[in-house]
Each structure stands twice: as structure tokens, then as C-alpha cells.
Copies of this chain bind each other. A is one copy, B any other.
Amino acid sequence: MSPAVPPPIDPPARLLMGPGPITADPRVLRAMSAQLVGQYDPAMTAYMAETQELYRGVFRTRNDATLLVDGTSRAGIEAALVSLLAPGDRVLVPIFGRFGHLLREIAERCGAEVHVIEREWGTVFTAAEIEATLAEVRPKLLAVVHGDTSTTVAQPLEELGALAAKHGALLYTDTTASLGGNEFCADEWGVDVATAGLQKCLGGPSGSAPITLSEAAVAVVRGRTSVEAGIRSAGDPVNPDPIRSNYFDLGQILAYWGPQRLNHHTEATTMLYGARECARLVLEEGLDARIERHRVHGAAMTAGLVGLGLDLFGDQSVRMHNVVGVRIPDGIDGDAARAALLADYGIEIGTSFGPLHGKVWRVGVMGYNARRDTVLTTLAALEQMLRRGGVAVRAGAGVDAALESYAA
């Protein structure tokens, strides 16, 4: 048929130490190699229920409405926003990096009335700044990124749930970059909706978006839902002004995951197997232990990068455990150096977006790769890369500093 059919996939060996995706935990890939079962097989619906319960543990919530959206982390964000925001609804988006811009962008496309406040990349807002704007704007929704990988820092959320509630708003947060490697407590912090992805601290591939919704958020969604023609039964809701998306209609998706088992999409079985294994491994390790592991190895990597003479980017007091930004030294072409690191050592570190492109590298220490051997190997290779790029580096400076951090 085709003149040249390529051979099967055979990816090169890589150590992914960028801001994500990172090397998947082999146990997740093994789970994903399991054979399929039918969409309504008792085994499948049992796996779905287990996956829900596992993510309740990961999000630290008792929300019944805890499930997966079939798509990348961005799909989870859009499902949350398009399901919560009707055209004309007011939303407040505090922006402190690229992914805050994404929340604004998606909310605008939902037809919402979007209000933003912005801060310099690498910093975060005080609760008082956000409260002042909440009082002024009085939005239906406060939508804020938790950890913005683009800047490595995380917006403290502890007080925002109560502040949003005080001003009559729901709180949505995007935890794609932070969940599983940094403290996050959906219920204790009063978060109404949180979404995530697998490809960061959860140690899986991109393609499935865990989401959790409070009862208040579910009430908003249910008030907007409409069951599609072709599978509608007597008594099913029909809304003349439905959620603008069918694929992301969380009302229908909840009915698919719930006891009604309403037919919607065909669940992405293999991604569900992977998402389940990601959460299972988090809870098997223990969420506290996993967060501490990210803290320890992230701190060692940070110490090592400083030891190599690199300047850190961003407010370190609010830096995520799992990603470190460093300013690219003068005289080094950041992208060429990254390409050399990949070609010579098989190690990937990250570039940056927008105003930081060419100025900041981002080094990830997360999920399966939050380990001592990956930290030391990366620092050893970075030392060689900097030296060959003409930067004066004391031999062993990075590894020595990391080992001191581990010893402390």
C-alpha cells in the first residue's frame, strides 16, 4: 500500500529533567500495557470507581465528584471553566505566569467577563491583593493557577478559599504542575474545583486530566447541564442554553462516571489504567512522603545549581519543590546548550516562554525523576556543558553542593 512503512516505535533513552513531561514511572507504563475491557464491563466500572477514590486521596478531598477528563491537563482546565462559566459571568484571574494567561484566554473564549490582575513573573500575590480585587469585581469565580511551571513559583492558596467564599465566589485552581509534589489540600483550603495532569509530579504521560468538584461547584454544573438527543430519556434535563461544549460538559461526564452511567464519550481505557496507577503509586508511597521526597531532591538540585555559580530565578520562598529556574549565564546560547546536553548526555532540561525565553532554563525534579541519582547525574553533566561553553566552574562544585544539601 504505502511505499515506506516505518518500523515500530523505538524512542532514544532520555533522562527528562525539564518542567514536564518527565520520564514516566515504568510501573505506570506497565499498567498501560494491560489489555482492554469493555466500556461497561464490571471490571471497568470498578476501575473507574477505584480511580475516583484514589484521586480523592491525591487531592485530599471527600468530593464525590472526583474523576478524569479525557484529554491533556489543558482539557481539564477548559472542562472546568466552560462548565462553570456561562457567557457574561464574571471571573477574576490573577496572572503571574504563562498559565494564568491561559486561564484568561480560555475564560474569554467561554464568553465570560474576564477581570485580571497581573504581577511580574517569578512573584506571587498576597491574599490581601486578591481580596481587594475580589471585593471590587465580585466575580462568580476566582480562577488561579497553583504552581505556574512557566515561572517555577506557586501562589499560596491557603486563605483564598475562605476569601472567595466571603465574597460569593467559587475558587478554581490549576494544579497541573504542583499536585503530588507540593502540599495541596482541596477541602481544607476550600478549593471548589481543581484540575491536574499526569505528566509532572504524578509520573505518568500527558493525556488524562484528574478533576475534583465541590458540591457547590456540582450544583452550578448541574444547573447548566443538558442531556444530548439520541440518548436522552424521559426526565433527563434539556437546557435551551446549554454548556457551550458537549465534550467538556461536566454534567454529562459526571452522569457517565456516576451510578446513572449515561453514555457520553468512550472512556480512554489505557489512559485510565495509567491515571489509576499514578495515583495508586502516590498513595502507596504516601502523599506526605512523596511531597517530602520532592522537597529533598528539589533542594539538592537547587543547591547544586547555585554551586555551579548559576543565579536562581523567581521568589525562592514560594518556589515549587519540583522545578527550579536559573538564569542562563552571559555568553551561553541557551537553546544550543540544551541541544548539546541532549545529544551528549541524553538529558533534557527546559527552556522558558514569553519574556523569559533565552534568559532562563528550567530544571525539573519530579515524579519518577525526583531521585538522588538523577540529581547528581544532571549536575555532573551540566558542569561539563557549562565548562565547554566557556563558563568558569570549579570542578565538582554542583555535585558537592547537592551532597551537602542531602547531608544537611
Min CB–CB distance A152 → chain B (angstroms): 15
How does the 8 Å CB contact mask read for A100-124 relative to B, with 1 for contact and 0 for none?
Answer: 1110111011110000000000000
Give the interface SS of chain A, mostly helix, strand, loop or mixed: loop
Q: How many copies of this chain does one complex carry?
A: 2
Interface-facing stretch out of A135-143, A264-272, A324-332: A264-272
| B109 in contact with A266 (CB, 8 Å) | no
> Does A1 lie within 8 Å of B286, measured CB to CB?
yes
Judging by beta carbons under 8 Å apart, are A24 and B35 in contact?
yes
Whether, in the assembled complex, A37 has its beta carbon less than 8 Å from a beta carbon of chain B, the answer is yes
> Nearest-CB distance from A285 to chain B (Å)?
8
Q: List residues 340-370 of chain A with CB under 8 A from any CB of chain B.
A: 342, 348, 353-354
Report whether A274 and B266 are in contact in the complex, using a CB–CB cutoff of 8 Å: no
Which residues does chain B contribute within 8 Å of A75, judged by CB atoms? 70-71, 75, 247, 265
The answer to whether A288 has its CB under 8 Å from any CB of chain B is yes
Question: For residues 1 through 46 of chain A, which have their beta carbon under 8 Å from a beta carbon of chain B?
Answer: 1-2, 5-6, 8-14, 16, 18, 20-24, 26-27, 29-39, 41, 43-44
Cβ of A98 < 8 Å from any Cβ of B? yes
Docked-complex contact B12 and A38, CB < 8 angstroms = no
A267 to chain B, nearest CB (A): 7
- The segment out of A163-171, A226-234, A305-313, A395-403 that lies at the interface is A226-234
Q: Is the beta-carbon distance between A72 and B268 smaller than 8 angstroms?
A: yes
The answer for the CA separation of A240 and B354 in the assembled complex, in Å, is 21
Q: Check B6 against A50 for contact (C-beta < 8 Å).
A: yes
Are B102 and A36 neighbours in the complex by a CB distance under 8 Å?
no
Chain A residues 180-205 with CB under 8 Å of chain B are 197, 199, 205
User: Does A283 sit at the interface, judged by CB under 8 A?
Assistant: yes
Complex A-B, nearest 4 residue pairs according to Cβ-Cβ distance, in ascending order = A101-B230, A207-B268, A205-B270, A98-B230
